[in-house]
Amino acid sequence: MSDTPGEPTLHYDGSTPYEDYVRAEVLTHLQRPLSKDPGEMAFLVTTQVMELWFTVIVHEWRTAADALRGDDLPRALEALRRSGYELSALNASWEPLAHLTPGQFNAYRAALGEGSGFQSAMYRRMEFLLGEKSAAMLVPHRGTPKVHDELAKALHEPGLYDEALAYLSRHGDRPLPAEVLGRDFSARYEPHPEVEAAWQRVYAAGDGPLQRLGEALTEVAELVWRWRNDHLVATRRAMGGKTGTAGSAGVAWLEKRAAKNVFPELWTARSHV
């Protein structure tokens, strides 16, 4: 009880209810900088914040995929809408790192060792849900069986777009071909002319449930593209064209990623409406 009416309660037998729910003590003591440079703390915290956003976005996209599988379009659209706000917050996470000079980044870059963002298991789950499947990306996680098994399961499951196309096939004016609906889900999604034609018809028909689904997915795709470009620009500014950590091609690899459209037929169909 509060000591004074209208004032907040101050006395608890153990930890506060806020701490019990948020686990702030855990979160705020996860940082272990490995250099003496004061800028490393911002890099470390920003990266950890990104991991938290990856986690909630994966949750939203899995919710949306499950809802589409169950023909619950309103629930799917609500999850996609939330993920848009979360993607915007994720993209804003680049701000503390977006203006690093090469000297500032080099002051603690060695602390990363072989560490690289492409090793993030939760980010890989995001990519798998977007249709960017690759069995090779499981290899870095062989030393952590639980993580490896979760990724292997996600590799073989339909992605968010796969569930959207299955919904489109069931509720559109004609079914999509078997090679689209029954494709090997462990392979990277490749565009198909019949899918482009289906989205073209959806948009030509005007506003309706299927167009609202298309626009929700397009919003996700655009925000993912912005994420990739923000990553590219921040990296280019901090390290130029040098080889990335863990031997990646650095900026060249990120440029290739940024050039790819997520949910490709939603973009190409617009040229024919």
Q: How far is CA 47 from the centre of its chain?
A: 14
For residues 6 and 57, the answer to whether their CB atoms sit within 8 Å is: no
Mean pLDDT for the stretch of residues 37-62: 96
Q: What per-residue confidence (pLDDT) applies to 115?
A: 85
Mean pLDDT for the stretch of residues 164-183: 98
Q: What per-residue confidence (pLDDT) applies to 119?
A: 92
> What percent of the chain shows pLDDT beyond 90?
82
Binding-site members are 109, 231, 245
Q: What domains does the chain contain, in order, with CATH numbers?
A: 39-272 (1.20.58.480)
Secondary structure (3-state) at 173: coil
Per-residue pLDDT for 61 more than 90? yes
Q: What is the mean pLDDT of the chain?
A: 93
pTM: 0.93
Query: What tens digit of pLDDT does each residue of 27-38 get?
Result: 999 999 999 999
Query: What tens digit of pLDDT does each residue of 204-260 get?
Result: 999 999 999 999 999 999 999 999 999 999 989 988 887 766 666 678 888 888 888
Binding-site members for substrate are 109, 245
Using alpha carbons only, give the angle 62, 258, 218 rounded to the nearest 5 degrees.
Answer: 45
Cα 56 from Cα 151, distance rounded (Å)? 16
Lowest mean pLDDT among 61-75, 180-194, 234-248: 234-248
Question: What is the H or E stretch that residue 123 is in?
Answer: helix 121-129
More confident of the two residues 241 and 196 = 196
Query: What tens digit of pLDDT does each residue of 81-134 get?
Result: 999 999 999 999 999 999 999 999 999 988 888 888 889 999 999 999 999 999
Per-residue pLDDT for 2 more than 60? no
For residues 77 and 213, the answer to whether their CB atoms sit within 8 Å is: yes
Binding-site members for heme are 231
